[in-house]
Amino acid sequence: MVTETTGAAPAAKRSRAGWLVPAGLILISIIPVIFGSLRMAELTGGAAVTPANQRFFDSPVPVLIHIPAAIVYSLVGAFQFVPSLRRGKRGRRNWHRIAGAILIPAGLLSALSGLWMAVFYDLPKDDGVILLILRLVFGTAMVASIVLGIVAIRRRNFVAHGAWMARGYAIGIAAGTQALVSIPWFVLVGPTNELSRAVLLGAAWVLNLAVAEYFIRRRAHRSASSRRLFGRSAALPAGASR
């Protein structure tokens, strides 16, 4: 009984720890989810047209595609980082695949509609050419990451699939990070101009990708260590000592 209790405690602790990352990702996504929902309510509720929202009323379809797709992608995607949902029982692994089937079209719709808006919507105040280029670069990178993730899973390369999908997700949820890095600037410095806005938003994309790359490389290192360990164990004769 003592052994069972002792073994269950670390397992429960690992299970709780496994939810820290998705919880953090959901918190990061809360700000764009709220503002995106308000934007949808504005467009569907007959709000007054102003210079700030006129471009959305002039062409509402792209933004009405982008916001729901981005919300689904950011919130559902957070649960793909729960280890127990990826490596647990068969039903949990099936959930991972079903969620992936939802996330791939949601991510592509979010990225492609975002690219369309970047190209065809009039540039709002303080959005200059530099920020436009950044949106095109990172939007294209998000599409490419998702496509490469699809190619990898079709080839049964699960490691590459996870890495590319993580990169795409990191780009896709950057709106939350952009809000977080912009708030201190507004408080300490004041309103942004074209250059400072581009730097802040670009820094958020880079920061998200850097964090994703860190976890991708750490996971790859752990996998390599496990393969070396089990390979060494398999090479030892029965009853041999290390």
9 falls within a domain: yes
239 falls within a domain: no
CA atoms of 110 and 70, how far apart (whole Å): 5
Q: For residue range 100-132, what is the model confidence (pLDDT) as tens digits?
A: 999 999 999 999 999 999 999 988 877 999 999
For the ranges 158-162, 166-170, 217-221, which has the lowest average pLDDT?
217-221
135 falls within a domain: yes
Which of 124, 104, 141 is closest to 197 using CA atoms?
124
> pTM for this structure?
0.83
Question: What confidence tier does 50 reach under pLDDT thresholds 50, 70, 90?
Answer: confident
Q: For residue range 178-191, what is the model confidence (pLDDT) as tens digits?
A: 999 999 999 999 99
Task: Return the amino acid letter for 140.
Answer: T
Is 128 in contact with 198 (CB distance < 8 Å)? yes
73 falls within a domain: yes
Is 186 in contact with 202 (CB distance < 8 Å)? no
228 falls within a domain: no
Question: What confidence tier does 234 reach under pLDDT thresholds 50, 70, 90?
Answer: very low
Please tell me the total count of domains within the chain: 1
Can you give the residue range of the structural domain that contains 40? 2-223
CA atoms of 168 and 182, how far apart (whole Å): 22
